[in-house]
Amino acid sequence: MLNEAVPKQASEAPAVSAENWLIISVLGVVWGSSFLLTEVALKGITPLWLAAGRVVIAALLTTFVWGMYGWRLHLSTERHWGTLFFFGLLSATLPFQFLSWGQQYVTSAFAGVSMASVGLIILPLAHIMLPNEKITLPRFLGLLVGFVGILILFGQQSFTSTDDPLETLGRVACLLAAMCYALSSVLLKRLPPIDRIGVAALPLIMGAFLIVANAWVFEGAPPAVDFNTAMIILLLAAFPTALANLLRIKVIRSAGPVFMSLVSYLVPVWCVVLGVFVLGETMTPSLIIALVVILGGIAVTQWDELRRLINKSRNAIK
């Protein structure tokens, strides 16, 4: 029944271009820096209001851009509007709140491993819900190898306990965020042809109202924040939320959710690399080994596409 409801757009073969590879590389850096920024911001603001602040500002920025392009959307049926609503709920409203709350009680390493699990979660979902995103042996092995690389990256810290009474709930919150991202990626691919800016703006607008309401109910009125915290919230809104949301939608619509999930392996790597170069943390051998394993897993997953791009580049040179 699920496959019968998939619009024509979702059944077309995903096309992975050099631009798609560039975008997920950029997203790896942008989202990798967001974990660092979130931890710093949480020292000056409560978690739900942090999520509310970044989503509200991102919604305003994206809506402004959407208006400049004429408020296009191209959705008609109630079924598609329902899919768009759940996409917004799962891509903006819920995961930001889960992560902001969960990161109070878990290590950043566990949060990184949780986000890396998105690829493994997407694989069976896409197999069931999208006719052209079936589980293949290279995809399964590649994603599995990549996940092993993430475990190598964080080592024993991956599941080190913080001894906080709410740590278990914090871990569940991080995993729920990963599940939200996975399901939202598949739902987006099931939508018919739709304006990329419009589909980025509307979920953020819906998410802004719901997150602000939740923050007000559970944390009271918005707190006063210092200048540094305000600037960090603005950065989180502009780049890891507004800009990254536009780029994420572009990749999912053109290359598919399974390809997009590869970024979940790049994000923790950049999180650790930025810790080394920005915070002065120690460069460990496990970082180099993990990077090789993760990139190897990605190569296995996308071997046919990589080979096609290499051949295309060779022909262009000739």
How many other β-carbons are positioned within 10 Å of the β-carbon of residue 277?
A: 9
User: How far is CA 120 from each of CA 94, 249, 257, 260, rounded to the nearest angstrom?
Assistant: 20, 19, 11, 12
**Residue 169 resides in a domain:** yes
* 318 occurs within a structural domain: no
In a domain, 63, yes or no: yes
Residue 113 confidence (pLDDT) = 79
Please tell me the predicted confidence (pLDDT) of residue 4: 35
pLDDT at 264: 84
Query: Does residue 87 belong to any structural domain of this protein?
Result: yes
Give the pLDDT of residue 276.
76
Note whether residue 245 is domain-resident.
Answer: yes
Place of tokens 């740590």: 167
pLDDT of residue 212: 93
- Structural domain includes residue 10: no
Counted domains in the chain: 1
CA separation for the pair 119, 263 (Å, rounded): 9
Q: Which residue bears the tokens 């590869």?
A: 262
| Residue 200 · residue 246 · CB < 8 Å | yes
**Which one, of 175, 189, 174, lies nearest residue 258 by Cα?**
189
Alpha helices in the chain (DSSP H): 8-11, 18-41, 47-68, 78-88, 94-102, 108-116, 118-129, 137-154, 167-190, 196-219, 227-236, 244-255, 257-260, 263-278, 285-301, 303-317
Separation CA 266–CA 249 (nearest Å):
18
Q: What is the per-residue pLDDT for 247?
A: 94
pLDDT at 310 (0 to 100): 64
Cβ within 8 Å of residue 148, ≥6 positions away: 293, 297
Q: Can you give the pLDDT at residue 3?
A: 38
Whole-number pLDDT of residue 273: 80
| Cα–Cα distance measured from residue 189 to residue 5, given in angstroms and rounded to the nearest whole number | 12
- Counting as low any pLDDT under 70, the low residues of the chain are 1-15, 75-78, 279, 281, 305-306, 309-310, 312-318
Tell me how far apart the alpha carbons of residues 141 and 153 are, in angstroms, rounded to a whole number: 18
Look at residue 9 and tell me if it is in a domain.
Answer: no
**Model-level pTM greater than 0.85?**
no
Q: Are 293 and 152 in contact (CB under 8 A)?
A: yes
Cβ 102 vs Cβ 174: under 8 Å: yes
Q: Which residues constitute the domain of residue 167?
A: 15-313
pLDDT at residue 154, rounded to an integer: 77
Query: What is the residue-wise DSSP string for 87-150?
Result: HHIIIIIHHHHHHHHHTTTS-HHHHHHHHHTHHHHHHHHHHHH-TT----HHHHHHHHHHHHHH
CA-CA distance, 244 to 262, in Å (whole number)?
15
Q: Give domain status of residue 2, yes or no.
A: no
